[in-house]
Amino acid sequence: MPANLTPEYLEAEARFKQAKSIPEKIKALEVMLAVIPKHKGTEKLRGQLKSRMAKLKEELQRKPTIGRAEQAFNIKREGAAQVVLLGLPNSGKSALFSKLTNAFSEVADYPFTTRKPIPGMMKFENLQIQLVDTPPIQLDHIEPGFPNLIRNGDALLILVDLTEDPIFQMEILLEELKGMRINIGGKGPIPSPEVGWAYKKVLLIGNKCDAKNAMEGYRAFENHFGNHFTILPISAKERMNFEELKKEVYQLLGIIRIYTKAPGKEPDLTEPVILKKGSTVEEVALSIHKDFAAKLRYAKIWGSGKFDGQMVKRDYQVNEGDVIELHI
Ligand SMILES: Nc1nc2c(ncn2[C@@H]2O[C@H](COP(=O)(O)OP(=O)(O)OP(=O)(O)O)[C@@H](O)[C@H]2O)c(=O)[nH]1
Ligand SMILES: [Mg+2]
């Protein structure tokens, strides 16, 4: 029996074929189903349209949840650097995060308290460094978006609970990071990059230093991992070693602070220019404006120069705390 499809139906079908998004496709299908002549000859076609519709609706339901979960792990970088906290459940990440930053993350004595990453700003001298609290790392289950969050960070703070076999905790963390193709290190040179792998600098933190048996755990941990990583014992609860911790985080980032000034004026020491260690005068200029770098003739330097106000060229390597006057 001929299907006798109407022009209305054929028009909707054309729209369906051209549709790019799922909602557009669903809309066109709805029209097709509404206007299709309902007789024996179209029975099979109607069945196909209905099952297509069901599949599209299911897809629509599924899509945003994956998207939303991933989006929660997309934390916009703010301040001088982004540092991601990592650890097993109950290691004290949120306790530390809440005390070091202006933000709040729930602390509780049961595991999996933190479900989504939370950003906060930590003040260190004249700098703001972003810390990101995260859900715990667990064996064989990685949330979508988590590997990217770790890869995008400038450095990692790995927390272990010193009272709960810290070596074993670290072994699990290393295993899970390996699964995400993330290589970590602390001391020593940065290894040459491998395709598909990311390398992250790490500071290891032994938490709960205030608790009984913590120092025993610390000594064993230090013996095991001390050659490859800087390890700092702290207590998030008692705020022990917080100043040291902030300094170590800054060291870990491998950044320097430079101050610029206009001729005859004083530099603004509250507004550092943040650069990678080893940067040059040219990169100082570039951080202000690309035209500035192009037109740069020379600079005067206070700090690491041979004398105050020394004239230097664009390839001069600047150092922590230098004050630079750019001349174009
Ligand atoms: N004694 C002691 N307990 C601590 C310290 N830091 C955290 N705790 C306790 O450890 C438990 C877990 O702390 P959280 O900060 O919630 O741990 P977390 O790593 O964020 O846990 P998840 O969100 O589940 O991954 C809580 O009962 C805290 O009070 C510390 O320095 N000393
Ligand atoms: Mg937490």
pLDDT tens string, the chain, 328 residues long: the values are 566 889 999 999 999 999 988 889 999 999 999 999 999 999 999 999 999 999 999 988 876 655 677 788 999 999 999 999 999 999 999 999 999 999 999 999 989 899 999 999 999 999 999 999 999 998 878 888 999 999 999 999 999 999 999 999 999 999 999 999 999 999 888 888 888 999 999 999 999 999 999 999 999 999 999 999 999 999 999 999 999 999 999 999 999 999 999 999 999 999 999 999 999 999 999 998 888 889 999 999 999 988 999 999 999 999 999 999 999 9
Read off the tokens for 250. Answer: 């800054």
Distance 239 CA to ligand 1 centre (A): 13
- Binding site membership of 110 for ligand 1 (Cβ less than 6 Å): no
Distance 85 CA to ligand 2 centre (A): 10
- Binding site membership of 241 for ligand 1 (Cβ less than 6 Å): no
Read off the tokens for 300. Answer: 């005067």
Read off the tokens for 199. Answer: 């390398």
What CA–CA distance (Å, rounded) separates 217 from 2? 81
* Mutation to probe ligand 1, out of 96, 107, 146, 212 (largest number of atoms < 8 A from CB): 107
What CA–CA distance (Å, rounded) separates 179 from 20? 35
- Binding site membership of 111 for ligand 1 (Cβ less than 6 Å): yes
What CA–CA distance (Å, rounded) separates 59 from 126? 49
In the chain, the amino acid numbered 151 is: R
Read off the tokens for 58. Answer: 């299911």
Pairing outcome for strands 230-233 and 273-276: unpaired
- Binding site membership of 107 for ligand 1 (Cβ less than 6 Å): yes
Angle 83-275-104 (CA atoms, 0-180°, nearest 5)? 25
**Closest Cα to atom 13 of ligand 1:** 92
**pTM, full prediction:** 0.79
Q: Of the bound ligands, which one is closest to the alpha carbon of residue 107? A: 1
What CA–CA distance (Å, rounded) separates 46 from 3? 11
In the chain, the amino acid numbered 167 is: I
Closest atom of ligand 1 to CA, residue 207: 31
Instruction: Find out whether 26 and 56 touch, Cβ atoms under 8 Å.
Output: yes
Report the residue count for the chain.
Answer: 328
